[in-house]
A and B are shown apart, each in its own frame.
Chain A
Amino acid sequence: MIAQNLLTLLIALPFLGAIIAATMPRGARNSVALLAGAVFLAMLGLLAGLHPSVTSGEVVATTLKWVPSLGLNLRFRLDGFAWLMLLLVAGIGILVVIYARYYLAATEAASRFHALILAFSGAMSGLLLSGNVIMLVVFWELTSLCSFLLISYWHQKPEARRGARIALTVTAGGGLCLLAAMVMMGHIAGGYELDTVLSAAADIRTHPLYPVILVLTLLAAFTKSAQVPFQFWLPNAMAAPTPVSAYLHSATMVNAGVFLLVRFYPVLGSTDAWFGLVVVTGMATLIFGAVMALVQNDLKGVLAYSTISHLGLITALTGIGSPTAIVAAMFHIVNHAVFKASLFMAMGIVDHETGTRDIRRLSGLRRWMPETTWLAVVASASMAGVPLLNGFLSKEMFFEAAFAWNNGSTLDDLLPYLATLAGAFSVAYSLRLIVEVFFGPPATDLPKFPPHEPPSPMRRPVEILVILCLAIGIFPGPILGTTLQDAAVAVLGSRAPTFDLKVWHGVNMAFIMSVVAMVAGTALFFLFRRRIAGLADASDGAGERGGRTFDTIMWFGLERPAQIITRLFTARGLRQQLVVILIVSLIFAAVVAPGTRWMPVERGFGLDDAVFALMWLVGGACAIGTAWQAKYHRFAALVLLGGVGVMTVLSYAWLSAPDLAVTQLLVELTTTVLLLLGLRWLPKRDEEFPGDRELEARLRRGRDLVLAIAAGAGVAAISYAVMTAPAVPGLGDWFLRNAYSEGGGTNAVNVILVDFRAFDTFGEIVVLAIVALTVFALLRRFRPAPESANPPRAQGGGNQPPLADLIFVPSILMRWMFPVTVLMAVYFFLRGHDLPGGGFAAGVTLAIGLMVQYLATSVRWIEGRITVLPVRWVAFGLNVAALVGIGSWLFRFPFLTAHAQYVTLPVIGPVPAATAMLFDLGVFAVVAGAVTLIVIALAHQSLRVGHPPDRGPEPLAETGGEP
Chain B
Amino acid sequence: MTFVLACAIGILIGSGIWLVLRPRTFQVICGLSLLSYGVNLFIFGVGRPRVGAPPLLTKGGYVDTAAYADPLPQALVLTAIVIGFATTALFLVVLIASRGTTGTDHVDGQEPGR
Binding site for B on A (CB under 8 A): 572-575, 578-579, 582, 601-602, 608-609, 612-613, 616, 619-620, 623-624, 626-627, 630-631, 634, 637-638, 641, 644-645, 647-648, 651-652, 654-660, 663-664, 667, 670-671, 674-675, 678-679, 681-683, 691, 704-705, 707-709, 711-717, 719-720, 722-724, 727, 729-733, 735-737, 739-741, 746-749, 752-753, 757, 760-761, 764, 767-768, 771-772, 774-775, 778-779, 782-785, 788, 834-836, 840, 844, 927, 930-931, 934, 937-938
Contact = CB atoms under 8 A, between A and B. Distances in A.
Given A619-B8, A752-B72, A713 B14 contact: yes
B99 A740 contact: no
B15 A719 contact: no
Contacts of B11: 616, 619-620, 623-624, 712, 716
B33 A731 contact: no
Contacts of B77: 657, 660
14 contacts: A573-B107, A641-B34, A648-B37, A655-B44, A708-B15, A712-B10, A714-B10, A727-B48, A748-B57, A749-B75, A772-B86, A782-B93, A783-B101, A934-B89
B59 A740 contact: yes
Interface string B99-110: 111011101100
B93 A938 contact: yes
Interface in B32-57: 33-34, 37-38, 40-42, 44-57
Given A656-B51, A749-B71, A608 B18 contact: no
Given A575-B23, A623-B12, A783-B100, A719 B88 contact: no
B78 A660 contact: yes
Contacts of B65: 729, 732-733, 736-737
A671 B72 contact: no
A616 B46 CA distance: 19
A764 B63 CA distance: 30
B93 to A, nearest CB: 5
Contacts of A733: 65
Interface of B: 1-27, 29-31, 33-34, 37-38, 40-42, 44-60, 63, 65, 68-75, 77-79, 81-90, 92-97, 99-101, 103-105, 107-108, 112
Contact of A609 (B1, B27, B105, B112): B1
B47 to A, nearest CB: 7
Instruction: Give the dominant DSSP class at B's interface.
Output: helix
Given A609-B1, A732-B72, A782 B97 contact: yes
A141 B100 CA distance: 41
Contacts of B12: 619-620, 623, 644, 712
A656 B54 contact: yes
Contacts of B60: 740-741
B105 A682 contact: yes
B57 A746 contact: yes
Contacts of B92: 674-675, 678, 938
B5 A657 contact: no
Given A575-B21, A624-B11, A740-B63, A749 B55 contact: yes
Given A626-B34, A711-B13, A782 B45 contact: no
A782 B96 CA distance: 9
Given A682-B99, A711-B17, A712-B14, A660 B85 contact: no
Contact of B54 (A631, A658, A681, A737): A658
Given A644-B12, A709-B14, A836-B56, A667 B82 contact: yes
A574 B74 contact: no
Nearest to A756: B75
Contacts of A753: 75, 78-79
B94 A778 contact: yes
A738 to B, nearest CB: 8
A774 B51 contact: no
Nearest to A627: B15
B67 to A, nearest CB: 9
A836 to B, nearest CB: 7
A657 B69 contact: yes
B86 A720 contact: no
B3 A730 contact: no
B17 A732 contact: no
A707 B83 CA distance: 27
Contacts of B9: 715-716, 719
Nearest first, the 6 A-B pairs at minimum CB distance are: A712-B14, A716-B10, A732-B70, A655-B49, A708-B18, A748-B71
Contacts of A704: 18, 21-22
Given A648-B40, A681-B96, A657 B21 contact: no
B105 A683 contact: yes
Contact of A757 (B29, B75, B101): B75
A611 to B, nearest CB: 10
Nearest to A714: B10
Nearest to B34: A623
Contacts of B42: 715, 719, 722
A748 B76 CA distance: 12
A765 B99 CA distance: 29
A679 to B, nearest CB: 8
Contact of B93 (A664, A779, A844): A779
Given A575-B23, A746-B57, A782-B97, 12 more contacts: A573-B108, A648-B37, A674-B92, A682-B99, A682-B105, A719-B6, A731-B72, A749-B71, A761-B79, A782-B93, A835-B56, A934-B89
A761 to B, nearest CB: 7
B8 A768 contact: no
B57 A739 contact: yes
A748 B27 contact: no
Q: Which of A578, A579, A644 has the most CB of B within 10 A?
A: A644
A927 B81 CA distance: 12
A674 B89 contact: yes
A719 B73 CA distance: 14
B86 A747 contact: no
Nearest to B70: A732
Given A683-B99, A713-B14, A630 B22 contact: yes
A739 B44 CA distance: 20
A746 B78 CA distance: 17
B59 A660 contact: no
A708 B21 contact: yes
Contacts of B6: 716-717, 719-720, 723
A621 to B, nearest CB: 9
Given A613-B4, A683-B105, A716-B9, A723 B45 contact: yes
Given A627-B19, A682-B96, A732-B70, A764 B82 contact: yes
A778 B38 contact: no
Contacts of B93: 678, 774-775, 778-779, 782, 934, 937-938
A278 B82 CA distance: 61
A657 B49 contact: yes
Q: Which of B21, B26, B63 has the most CB of A within 10 A?
A: B21
B66 to A, nearest CB: 9
Contact of A748 (B8, B31, B68): B68
B83 A723 contact: no
Given A579-B21, A674-B89, A753-B79, A735 B72 contact: yes
A657 B34 contact: no
A910 B5 CA distance: 41
Contacts of A647: 8
A949 to B, nearest CB: 11
Q: Which of A707, A723, A730, A772 has the most CB of B within 10 A?
A: A723
Contact of A746 (B38, B59, B69): B59
B105 to A, nearest CB: 6
Contact of B46 (A723, A748, A767): A723
Contacts of A644: 12, 34, 37
A307 B77 CA distance: 61
B51 A705 contact: no
B1 to A, nearest CB: 5
A193 B90 CA distance: 48
Contacts of A652: 44
B95 to A, nearest CB: 8
